[in-house]
Amino acid sequence: MTPKTTRLVRALRPGTRTKDQGEFDRRLLAPMILGSVLNPVNSSIISVSLVPIGAAFGAPPAQTAWLVSALYLATAIGQPVIGRLIDLYGPRRLFLIGTSLAGIAGLVGALAPHLGVLIAARVLLGFGTCAGYPAAMFLIRSEARRTGHDSPAGILTLLAVAGQTIAVIGPTLGGLLIGLGGWRTTLAVNIPLAAAGLLLGILRLPKTPPRGRGGNERPAAGLDLAGMALFAAMLVSLLLFLMSLSAAHWYLPVITAVAAAGFTLRELRAPDPFIDLRVLAGNLPLLTTYARTLLAYSVSYAFLYGYTQWLEEGRGLTASQAGLAQLPLFVTGILVSTTTGRRTEIRGKLLVGALAQIAACGMLLLFHPDTAVWLLIAVALVSGIPQGLNSLALQNAVYHQADPERMASCAGLLRTFTYLGAMVASSANGVFFSERADTNGLHHLAWFLLAIGVLFLAITVADRSLNRVGPGTPTP
């Protein structure tokens, strides 16, 4: 019997798995990682660009804040919508369309003649970067199903580390790019990234037929366009209210409530709903994870934007120096994630992350316009701990708690709550830094973040379902 025949016989024996069947397809890693980091890099890189953009266009912080809000508004709506399309049609075509939009947005932003065009480019960028993360989570779940490994912890860790690393080094990278070629380079960087993503997507992402019942080539039912529209209306009105907190905008919460009621009725009656509320309502651990995500990222993004703006305007650092001041956060986040990534328990990570968040927020109360550099480094080191732990733990929780058939849309909802947290942070920055990011505003922001951090800790302590997620789960 030839070696080739022997391998074939072994492959056909019951319970025998070939190498190709039993291992994660490593060719998928590059497009997965590149696609999933397009959004974080654009979320964080602009944090050091807001001041120079404001100076270039003569715009105050209240107006440049729309550059942050526009991306998050588009992403918060688009992530679960694109995720649902990926659940139904597979990741390849959505990935390629989204990556193309990201490249176009980078070009438009780099050439923007005024702030309005730049904001429009950020909206387009938000929609363009929606496909990467849901596509990656879909591929991880589909590979787990193919290989028989329930919990690809190493791959999940790599995805989380890549995302949080890019988010953290964004200010440093942005500062370096601004130093080299001005703020427009922070938009233009999307052009080569999108080109690389397109090439990798074409060469490596599998062509998958639309998912249907009974092996059909078409989805079981039409898209729930009405549900998606009501979901978008609900989020747009809510986020617009958060971006401009004022009694004069009383009608926005009313629109949110009406859209939410219509969305609920629609999803309960739809044969194949955009978001299956019956399943979601019965999954309290997943809902708690989404709530925890909102709180965690309210603190994280307030640090990313509010604290970075204070470094420039309150402490007097240049954009490049402010980026470098955040570098210890990047180092700590990477070390924490890579050290703890293969440990499957989630509860312990969230508890330590919650305590570190509280400590970092408390340290901000010690800051003043002449704060020593060592204290700036210290707060960056401490805030890197939750950066490394929380994103990893929340992502793994969703992977284990979500319905496998709706993995991409559940992953999209995770990002929606992430950016709801970002919008809360942006709104808080607008309230506490109404004219400029001074030290008094930083202290008020710190008290607000402390309250959120304590609530995050309380929810984590009370959530006993976390004891059933992670420990004892095999890893690849």
- Which ranges in 111-215 belong to alpha helices (H)? 115-128, 132-147, 153-181, 185-188, 190-204
* Higher pLDDT among residues 135 and 8, named by residue: 135
Asked if 356 and 476 touch (Cβ cutoff 8 Å), the reply is no
Asked if 130 and 35 touch (Cβ cutoff 8 Å), the reply is no
Q: What is the pLDDT of residues 176-228, one digit of tens each?
A: 889 888 999 999 999 999 999 999 999 999 887 666 444 444 444 567 889 88
Q: Where are the domains of the chain?
A: 25-208+274-468, 224-273
* Higher pLDDT among residues 352 and 140, named by residue: 352
Kind and range of the H or E run holding 20? helix 19-22
Average pLDDT over residues 343-358: 90
Average pLDDT value over all residues in the chain: 83
- pLDDT confidence bin for 75, thresholds 50/70/90: confident
* Higher pLDDT among residues 241 and 290, named by residue: 290
- CATH assignment, 25-208+274-468: 1.20.1250.20
Return the closest-CA partner of residue 359 out of 450, 294, 462, 421. Answer: 450
Average pLDDT over residues 277-295: 90
What confidence score (pLDDT) does residue 111 get?
Answer: 94
- pLDDT confidence bin for 145, thresholds 50/70/90: confident
The token pair that represents 388 in the structure block = 């490394």
Most confident of 128-142, 190-204, 267-281: 190-204
- pLDDT confidence bin for 387, thresholds 50/70/90: confident
- Nearest-angstrom CA–CA distance, 23 and 309: 45
- Nearest-angstrom CA–CA distance, 422 and 417: 9
What confidence score (pLDDT) does residue 147 get?
Answer: 74
Go through 107-121 and write b for each residue having 16 or more CB atoms within 10 A of its CB, e for each that does not.
ebbbebeebeebbeb
What confidence score (pLDDT) does residue 324 get?
Answer: 82
Asked if residue 9 has pLDDT above 80, the reply is: no
Average pLDDT over residues 112-120: 93
Proportion of the chain above pLDDT 90, given as a percent: 32
- Nearest-angstrom CA–CA distance, 35 and 46: 18
- pLDDT confidence bin for 1, thresholds 50/70/90: very low
* Higher pLDDT among residues 435 and 235, named by residue: 235
Asked if 432 and 441 touch (Cβ cutoff 8 Å), the reply is yes
- pLDDT confidence bin for 8, thresholds 50/70/90: very low
* Cβ neighbours of residue 344 closer than 8 Å, sequence gap 6 or more: 151, 153, 396, 470, 471, 472, 473, 475
What confidence score (pLDDT) does residue 445 get?
Answer: 92
Asked if residue 22 has pLDDT above 80, the reply is: no
The token pair that represents 201 in the structure block = 């997507």
Looking at residue 198, its amino acid is L
Average pLDDT over residues 247-259: 90
What confidence score (pLDDT) does residue 222 get?
Answer: 62
pTM above 0.85, yes or no: no
Q: Which of 75-79, 91-95, 290-294, 453-457 shows the lowest per-residue confidence on average (mean pLDDT)?
A: 75-79
What confidence score (pLDDT) does residue 7 get?
Answer: 42
What confidence score (pLDDT) does residue 360 get?
Answer: 94
* Higher pLDDT among residues 203 and 173, named by residue: 203
